[in-house]
Amino acid sequence: MSDNIDNDDDIFTGKEHTPLRPDAFALSADEKVEKIEKLFGEIMHTLGLDMADDSLKDSPKRVAKMYVKEIFGGLLPENKPAVSTFDNHYKYRQMLVERDITVYSFCEHHFLPIIGRAHVAYISNGTVIGLSKINRIVDYYAKRPQVQERLTMQIVQAMKEALGTADVACIIEAKHLCVNCRGIKDTASSTTTAELSGLFRSNPISRQEFLHYVGAHTKIE
């Protein structure tokens, strides 16, 4: 990934972004809920479930609403967090690290959860960002069918665009339930991905400092 700052507001283009069809936003959120409700009801029926049962009859609607408005809410452009930046009046020039940000996402291969933590850092070049906005950026891009590598890149790119600096880094450590509960069923393994940009890539001292800050928190529980 290039260290160049990409000012394109279209968050769905480029190699690091979620693959979507050109007509991805032709339906409103409510229309998507209605369509998914019918389709998921067909899946449950095909599995042999009694859709007249009190416990199951409303499940298609619940799943549809959850898909569109909750766990895949990052596919709705209107949910992109507004990121306000502030002048760095106090002239803080060292790195800022937001550690142990909760990550809940879904593997796009089997639609099973990815659960872990993100560590995000940046070095200000004159502006700073509210701490909670970093969490919101992570949450927004996590709420999509994902691969962990892409998610890591998306977080860094969004931070670079918001702050106008290439000096951004992100490490994600996560468990993938597609590995833990199916297939090989390895419950102990976890996955670590890193995207280092600007000084975090080119300066060994900055990189080592970042890794030192997050190194004591690398075990996924």
Contacts of 93 (CB under 8 A, 6+ apart): 123, 124
As given in the structure block, the two tokens for residue 211 are 């890794």
| pTM flag (> 0.75) | yes
Q: Which of 17, 34, 110, 149 is catalytic?
A: 110
Strands 127-129 and 113-123: unpaired
- Annotated domain spans of the chain: 29-71, 84-215
pLDDT digits (tens, 9 = 90+) for 87-103: 888 888 899 999 999 99
Active site residue 212: no
Q: What does the DSSP 8-state code read for residue 198?
A: T
**Calpha distance 129→48 (Å, rounded):** 51
Banded pLDDT at 17 (limits 50, 70, 90): confident
Axis-axis angle for helices 148-163, 131-142 (nearest 10): 140
Q: Which of 148, 154, 157, 195 is catalytic?
A: 148
Question: Is there a contact between 200 and 211 (Cβ–Cβ < 8 Å)?
Answer: no
Q: Which residue has the tokens 């199951």?
A: 56
Residue range 29-71 forms a domain whose CATH class is mainly alpha
Q: Which of 45, 109, 212, 217 is catalytic?
A: 109
Where on the phi/psi map is residue 24: left (φ > 0), alpha (ψ -120 to 50), or beta? alpha
Q: Which of 108, 149, 161, 209 is catalytic?
A: 108
DSSP string, 137-190: HHHHHHSSEE-HHHHHHHHHHHHHHHHT-S-EEEEEEEEEHHHHSSTT--SS--
pLDDT > 90 in the chain, percent: 84
Q: What does the DSSP 8-state code read for residue 81?
A: P
Active site residue 170: no
* Mean pLDDT of all residues belonging to the chain: 91
As given in the structure block, the two tokens for residue 13 are 């283009």
Q: Which of 37, 98, 119, 178 is catalytic?
A: 178
pLDDT digits (tens, 9 = 90+) for 114-146: 999 999 999 999 999 999 999 999 999 999 999
Q: Which of 107, 119, 146, 157 is catalytic?
A: 107
**Calpha distance 161→5 (Å, rounded):** 6
Banded pLDDT at 193 (limits 50, 70, 90): very high
Active site residue 110: yes
Architecture per CATH, domain 84-215, reads as 2-Layer Sandwich (3.30)
Question: Is there a contact between 138 and 121 (Cβ–Cβ < 8 Å)?
Answer: no
**Calpha distance 68→171 (Å, rounded):** 27
Active site residue 107: yes
Active site residue 148: yes
As given in the structure block, the two tokens for residue 119 are 């560590």
